[in-house]
Amino acid sequence: MRHPAEKASWIWIDHNPNTRFLRFSIEFDTPANDALRFHVTADQRFQLRIDGKEITYGPDRSDLESWRVTTCEVPLRKGHHQIELLVWWINEDLSMLRAESKSGEVPPPNPPMAQMSWRAGFLFVAEGSLASVLNTGSKKWKVQDLTEAVCMARKSNLGYHDV
């Protein structure tokens, strides 16, 4: 049996290699009380909310050959709902490892060393009748670029020591 995640496509705002912080959202209606079972992941990190309630974040640590996908089941009442994800991808700036900024500017962050990455994107796969509405790649998710509103900077390069 194939993994349910193969029923959707990874999406992103563009192929810009720079650090990005994006908010993806989609609104939908459920005709009756029911549970929404879904699978979600991102490269590099995500936080997911449904109707303003934090549901999950991730992905768990993994490598490119065995990428982690989080599976959740959330009860939903009949009516209107919104799923929103904050997804971020931090570009590795190797030049910042070599020397400190001489201009006094705060250098941008590097991604966590324990976080494997291939390229920016996120994936959402719903099971059941909502799959055609919610799966990434099959319907339009709204996206808002929050990069300018988020400040992630490190004060100095403290170095890395493996003991």
Domain boundaries in the chain?
A: 4-93+110-149
What tens digit of pLDDT does each residue of 43-93 get? 888 999 999 999 998 876 666 666 678 899 999 999 999 999 999 887 765
Among 121, 128, 161, 141, smallest CA distance to 32 is for 128
- Measured CA to CA, the distance from residue 44 to residue 90 in angstroms comes to 7
Q: Supply the pTM of this predicted model.
A: 0.76
> What integer pLDDT is reported at residue 23 of this predicted model?
94
Q: Which helix (H) or strand (E) element contains residue 131?
A: helix 131-134
Task: Place domain 4-93+110-149 in its CATH homologous superfamily.
Answer: Galactose-binding domain-like (2.60.120.260)
99 versus 132: the higher-pLDDT residue is 132
